[in-house]
Amino acid sequence: MEYFQDKTRRKKFFQKSGSGYFLVFVLAFICLPAVSQQKKHTAMIVESKSFKHEEFIPQKYTCDGANISPDLEWSGFSGNTKSFALICNDPDAPSGNWIHWVLFNIPAHVNHLGEHFLIRNRPVPEMTAGVNDSRQLEYRGPCPPGGIHRYYFRIYALDEFIKAKEGITALELQSLMKGHILGQGEIMGRYKR
Protein backbone atom coordinates (compact mmCIF):
# COMPACT_ATOMS: atom_id res chain seq x y z
CA MET A 1 0.00 0.00 0.00
CA GLU A 2 2.84 2.40 0.78
CA TYR A 3 3.94 2.12 -2.85
CA PHE A 4 0.73 3.86 -4.00
CA GLN A 5 0.85 6.64 -1.41
CA ASP A 6 3.53 8.44 -3.41
CA LYS A 7 1.94 9.99 -6.55
CA THR A 8 5.18 9.66 -8.56
CA ARG A 9 5.48 5.95 -7.78
CA ARG A 10 1.78 5.40 -8.55
CA LYS A 11 2.20 7.11 -11.93
CA LYS A 12 5.28 4.97 -12.70
CA PHE A 13 3.39 1.79 -11.72
CA PHE A 14 0.56 2.49 -14.16
CA GLN A 15 3.02 3.45 -16.89
CA LYS A 16 4.93 0.18 -16.37
CA SER A 17 1.76 -1.93 -16.34
CA GLY A 18 0.34 -0.38 -19.49
CA SER A 19 -2.80 1.55 -18.73
CA GLY A 20 -4.17 1.63 -15.21
CA TYR A 21 -7.52 2.51 -16.72
CA PHE A 22 -7.56 -0.75 -18.62
CA LEU A 23 -7.15 -2.66 -15.34
CA VAL A 24 -10.01 -0.73 -13.73
CA PHE A 25 -12.21 -1.34 -16.80
CA VAL A 26 -11.52 -5.10 -16.74
CA LEU A 27 -12.35 -5.34 -13.02
CA ALA A 28 -15.58 -3.37 -13.51
CA PHE A 29 -16.55 -5.59 -16.46
CA ILE A 30 -16.06 -8.73 -14.34
CA CYS A 31 -17.80 -7.46 -11.18
CA LEU A 32 -20.83 -5.59 -12.56
CA PRO A 33 -22.64 -8.61 -14.02
CA ALA A 34 -22.48 -10.36 -10.63
CA VAL A 35 -24.10 -7.35 -8.96
CA SER A 36 -26.81 -7.03 -11.62
CA GLN A 37 -27.68 -10.74 -11.36
CA GLN A 38 -28.82 -10.40 -7.75
CA LYS A 39 -32.59 -10.88 -7.61
CA LYS A 40 -34.72 -8.10 -6.28
CA HIS A 41 -37.57 -9.25 -4.06
CA THR A 42 -41.01 -7.94 -4.89
CA ALA A 43 -43.14 -6.97 -1.90
CA MET A 44 -46.30 -9.06 -2.17
CA ILE A 45 -49.66 -8.45 -0.52
CA VAL A 46 -51.07 -11.22 1.68
CA GLU A 47 -54.64 -10.91 2.96
CA SER A 48 -57.17 -13.04 4.79
CA LYS A 49 -60.96 -13.06 5.09
CA SER A 50 -60.42 -14.78 8.46
CA PHE A 51 -58.52 -11.98 10.24
CA LYS A 52 -56.93 -8.60 9.56
CA HIS A 53 -53.18 -7.92 9.66
CA GLU A 54 -51.91 -7.44 13.25
CA GLU A 55 -55.33 -8.22 14.75
CA PHE A 56 -56.34 -11.23 16.83
CA ILE A 57 -56.91 -14.57 15.11
CA PRO A 58 -60.41 -15.94 15.84
CA GLN A 59 -60.53 -18.97 18.15
CA LYS A 60 -61.81 -21.34 15.44
CA TYR A 61 -58.33 -21.25 13.80
CA THR A 62 -56.58 -22.25 17.05
CA CYS A 63 -56.18 -25.27 19.31
CA ASP A 64 -58.97 -23.83 21.47
CA GLY A 65 -61.41 -24.10 18.55
CA ALA A 66 -61.73 -26.20 15.39
CA ASN A 67 -57.99 -25.78 14.67
CA ILE A 68 -58.63 -25.22 10.96
CA SER A 69 -56.46 -23.11 8.68
CA PRO A 70 -57.53 -19.54 7.92
CA ASP A 71 -58.31 -18.21 4.46
CA LEU A 72 -55.22 -16.76 2.71
CA GLU A 73 -54.92 -14.87 -0.57
CA TRP A 74 -51.89 -13.17 -2.12
CA SER A 75 -51.14 -10.83 -5.01
CA GLY A 76 -48.41 -8.57 -6.41
CA PHE A 77 -46.05 -11.35 -7.48
CA SER A 78 -43.79 -11.44 -10.54
CA GLY A 79 -45.00 -12.82 -13.86
CA ASN A 80 -41.91 -15.07 -13.79
CA THR A 81 -43.20 -16.90 -10.71
CA LYS A 82 -43.27 -20.69 -11.13
CA SER A 83 -44.41 -21.67 -7.63
CA PHE A 84 -45.17 -20.40 -4.14
CA ALA A 85 -44.18 -21.57 -0.68
CA LEU A 86 -45.87 -20.85 2.64
CA ILE A 87 -44.39 -20.90 6.14
CA CYS A 88 -46.37 -20.03 9.26
CA ASN A 89 -44.39 -19.50 12.44
CA ASP A 90 -44.65 -18.19 16.01
CA PRO A 91 -41.45 -16.31 16.95
CA ASP A 92 -42.73 -15.81 20.52
CA ALA A 93 -42.75 -19.52 21.39
CA PRO A 94 -40.71 -20.62 24.44
CA SER A 95 -38.36 -22.50 22.09
CA GLY A 96 -37.72 -19.26 20.17
CA ASN A 97 -39.63 -20.19 17.03
CA TRP A 98 -42.46 -22.66 16.42
CA ILE A 99 -43.45 -23.75 12.92
CA HIS A 100 -47.20 -24.25 12.43
CA TRP A 101 -47.50 -24.85 8.70
CA VAL A 102 -45.23 -25.56 5.72
CA LEU A 103 -46.40 -25.81 2.09
CA PHE A 104 -44.40 -25.60 -1.12
CA ASN A 105 -44.72 -26.21 -4.86
CA ILE A 106 -47.98 -24.31 -4.91
CA PRO A 107 -48.31 -23.63 -8.68
CA ALA A 108 -48.24 -20.01 -9.88
CA HIS A 109 -51.91 -20.15 -10.94
CA VAL A 110 -52.95 -20.78 -7.32
CA ASN A 111 -52.94 -17.60 -5.21
CA HIS A 112 -55.65 -18.49 -2.70
CA LEU A 113 -56.04 -21.15 -0.01
CA GLY A 114 -59.54 -21.34 1.36
CA GLU A 115 -60.42 -21.82 5.00
CA HIS A 116 -59.85 -25.37 6.30
CA PHE A 117 -57.33 -26.23 3.60
CA LEU A 118 -56.13 -29.84 3.88
CA ILE A 119 -53.14 -31.15 1.92
CA ARG A 120 -54.43 -34.72 2.25
CA ASN A 121 -57.30 -33.77 -0.10
CA ARG A 122 -54.67 -33.13 -2.81
CA PRO A 123 -56.44 -30.11 -4.33
CA VAL A 124 -53.48 -29.60 -6.69
CA PRO A 125 -51.18 -32.57 -7.50
CA GLU A 126 -47.90 -30.58 -7.41
CA MET A 127 -48.57 -29.01 -4.01
CA THR A 128 -46.43 -30.52 -1.25
CA ALA A 129 -46.42 -30.20 2.54
CA GLY A 130 -43.47 -29.89 4.83
CA VAL A 131 -43.59 -30.97 8.43
CA ASN A 132 -44.48 -28.54 11.22
CA ASP A 133 -43.01 -28.62 14.73
CA SER A 134 -45.87 -30.89 15.85
CA ARG A 135 -44.41 -33.38 13.31
CA GLN A 136 -47.55 -33.13 11.15
CA LEU A 137 -48.11 -32.20 7.52
CA GLU A 138 -51.34 -30.27 8.10
CA TYR A 139 -51.84 -26.84 9.65
CA ARG A 140 -51.64 -26.65 13.47
CA GLY A 141 -53.20 -23.50 14.87
CA PRO A 142 -51.99 -21.16 17.60
CA CYS A 143 -51.78 -22.72 21.07
CA PRO A 144 -49.56 -20.42 23.14
CA PRO A 145 -48.72 -21.46 26.72
CA GLY A 146 -49.21 -17.88 27.92
CA GLY A 147 -49.16 -14.25 26.85
CA ILE A 148 -49.86 -12.77 23.44
CA HIS A 149 -48.07 -14.51 20.59
CA ARG A 150 -47.60 -13.38 16.98
CA TYR A 151 -48.25 -15.73 14.04
CA TYR A 152 -46.66 -14.89 10.69
CA PHE A 153 -48.09 -16.38 7.50
CA ARG A 154 -45.36 -15.77 4.88
CA ILE A 155 -45.78 -16.43 1.18
CA TYR A 156 -42.73 -16.71 -1.09
CA ALA A 157 -42.85 -16.40 -4.90
CA LEU A 158 -40.20 -18.65 -6.46
CA ASP A 159 -38.65 -18.96 -9.92
CA GLU A 160 -38.80 -22.77 -9.81
CA PHE A 161 -40.48 -25.75 -8.19
CA ILE A 162 -38.61 -27.07 -5.16
CA LYS A 163 -37.02 -30.46 -5.73
CA ALA A 164 -37.83 -32.09 -2.42
CA LYS A 165 -40.14 -34.73 -1.05
CA GLU A 166 -42.99 -34.29 1.36
CA GLY A 167 -42.04 -33.83 5.00
CA ILE A 168 -39.06 -31.47 4.82
CA THR A 169 -38.71 -28.93 7.63
CA ALA A 170 -39.13 -25.17 7.29
CA LEU A 171 -35.35 -24.76 7.69
CA GLU A 172 -34.70 -27.23 4.86
CA LEU A 173 -37.23 -25.42 2.68
CA GLN A 174 -35.65 -22.03 3.41
CA SER A 175 -32.26 -23.42 2.41
CA LEU A 176 -33.64 -24.79 -0.87
CA MET A 177 -35.35 -21.46 -1.64
CA LYS A 178 -32.11 -19.44 -1.42
CA GLY A 179 -31.40 -17.70 -4.71
CA HIS A 180 -34.88 -18.49 -6.07
CA ILE A 181 -37.09 -15.99 -4.21
CA LEU A 182 -38.68 -13.43 -6.53
CA GLY A 183 -40.95 -11.87 -3.92
CA GLN A 184 -42.50 -12.36 -0.54
CA GLY A 185 -45.27 -11.03 1.64
CA GLU A 186 -46.82 -11.74 4.99
CA ILE A 187 -49.82 -11.28 7.20
CA MET A 188 -49.46 -11.44 10.96
CA GLY A 189 -52.16 -12.32 13.47
CA ARG A 190 -52.06 -12.46 17.25
CA TYR A 191 -53.52 -14.89 19.74
CA LYS A 192 -53.81 -15.13 23.51
CA ARG A 193 -55.40 -17.96 25.49
Delimit the CATH 3.90.280.10 region(s) of the chain.
Answer: 42-191
Mean pLDDT along residues 143-154? 97
Q: What is the pLDDT of residue 30?
A: 43
Predicted TM-score of the model (pTM): 0.80
Q: What is the pLDDT of residue 42?
A: 87
Is residue 54 within 8 Å of 190, Cβ to Cβ?
A: yes
Taking residue 130's Cβ as centre, other Cβ atoms within 10 Å add up to 25
Report the SS3 class of residue 83: strand
Mean pLDDT along residues 87-102? 97
E strand or H helix at 188, and its extent? strand 181-191
Indicate the CATH number for domain 42-191: 3.90.280.10
